[in-house]
Structure 1
Amino acid sequence: MTSSPHTERTDPPLTADEASTLVAFLDYHRDTLRMKTEGLTAEQLAQPLAPSTLTLGGLLKHVALNEASWFGEVLHGRPMPEPWASADWEADRDWELTSARDDSPEELRRLMDVSVGQARRDIDAALAEGGPEFRSVKLSRKDGQEFSLRWILLHMIEEYARHNGHADLLREAVDGVTGE
């Protein structure tokens, strides 16, 4: 391993003006990449694919969970719908990722479509009521602050961006398809 300084990463603010929020997310992702590459040798940085249990199906189910959680549960305070409500999270904290192997492609797409459809309605309602400054019902576990709709939207953009990168690698490994 090579030696390199330890990157400190700061979470973006939960409530801030547009420019500050966007710059904070950009800095967060810059630091994330730095952290993920710290201490690696040239050979390690050149390795094309790390071992992983992540699957494309797991990603579909994971983003469906995140849509329901962030826009329904956190933003509007609704209990999680099925299948999330009855999942045994104590036994498997990555249940959505591991259980996806038992779901058909059609079921995985349906879960995502249903979650995205409800999330769109939740976003529209929040925008109509308070715009990007609309505040969440649930508070941050980290510091007890409300989330702004703006922050949740940007967080979900980040979530998808990260997982779309994973999906690029997984798809290429599965069948050689690359690109957009």
Structure 2
Amino acid sequence: MRIDPPDSGPELDQLTSFLDLQRATVLWKTEGLTREQLAQPHPPSTLTLGGLLNHLALVEDSWFRVRFVGLPDDELWAGIDWDADPDFEFRTAAEVEPEELRRRYEEACARSREVVAGADSLDQLSVERRRTGQQFDLRWMLLHMIEETARHAGHADLLREAIDGATGQ
């Protein structure tokens, strides 16, 4: 369910509410579609709604669990040779049932929420460092995930309209 973020309040509540709104938007845009519809690209792009769901599940786990707190990859992603197949999550999504794709994303989001709930503060630094050599704090990561998810929610809006004409916020 999509819930508007609060107009005021603690920074953590506002950041997580904005991220949850974007997550809910992606789920809304994929609701009620068949496997074939989730695998339908909008040329010239090869991007699909199923690929977006799979990608966003990976991104949630990668940023929150692996990079921020240093946990191992979720078993779903652990054995992938990303150098040999950098688009694995996009490419393989067409083989996965819609309910499973949505479940993967919802469970990854739940794991991410657990990481946030367990953090000391928005100033807590990541275990992993960025390419610059700098650690990032939870605030930066939440902002990055809002950006990442919102960008893909926009893609999802266009893809959904191309599939069945459905539009919306």
Residue among 113, 124, 128 paired with 1:138: 128
Q: Give the structure 2 partner of residue 68 of structure 1.
A: 61
Whole-Å separation in 2 of the counterparts to 1:82 and 1:55: 23
1:19-168 correspondence runs (5 A): 51-126=44-119, 129=120, 131-141=121-131, 143-168=132-157
Shift of 1:88: 2.7
Is 2:162 the counterpart of 1:173? yes
SS of the equivalent of 1:132 reads coil
The more displaced of 100-109 and 81-90 is 81-90
Shift of 1:86: 1.1
Whole-Å separation in 2 of the counterparts to 1:160 and 1:99: 20
Shift of 1:50: 5.6
Whole-Å separation in 2 of the counterparts to 1:176 and 1:93: 31
Whole-Å separation in 1 of the counterparts to 2:148 and 2:165: 24
Shift of 1:115: 0.5
**TM-score, normalised to structure 2's length?**
0.73
Whole-Å separation in 1 of the counterparts to 2:76 and 2:114: 19
What are the Cα deviations for residues 86-117 of structure 1, in whole angstroms up to 9, with x where unaligned?
Answer: 12312210111111010000110111111111
Whole-Å separation in 2 of the counterparts to 1:87 and 1:145: 27
Q: Which has the higher contact order (CA 8 A, sep 6+)?
A: 2
Structure 1: 5+ residue runs without aligned partners? 1-17, 19-48
SS of the equivalent of 1:53 reads coil
- Runs of 4+ aligned residues of structure 1 deviating over 3 Å after TM superposition are none
SS of the equivalent of 1:119 reads helix
Q: Say how many residue pairs are matched.
A: 129
Whole-Å separation in 2 of the counterparts to 1:170 and 1:98: 16
Please report the RMSD computed on the Cα atoms of aligned residues, expressed in angstroms.
1.3
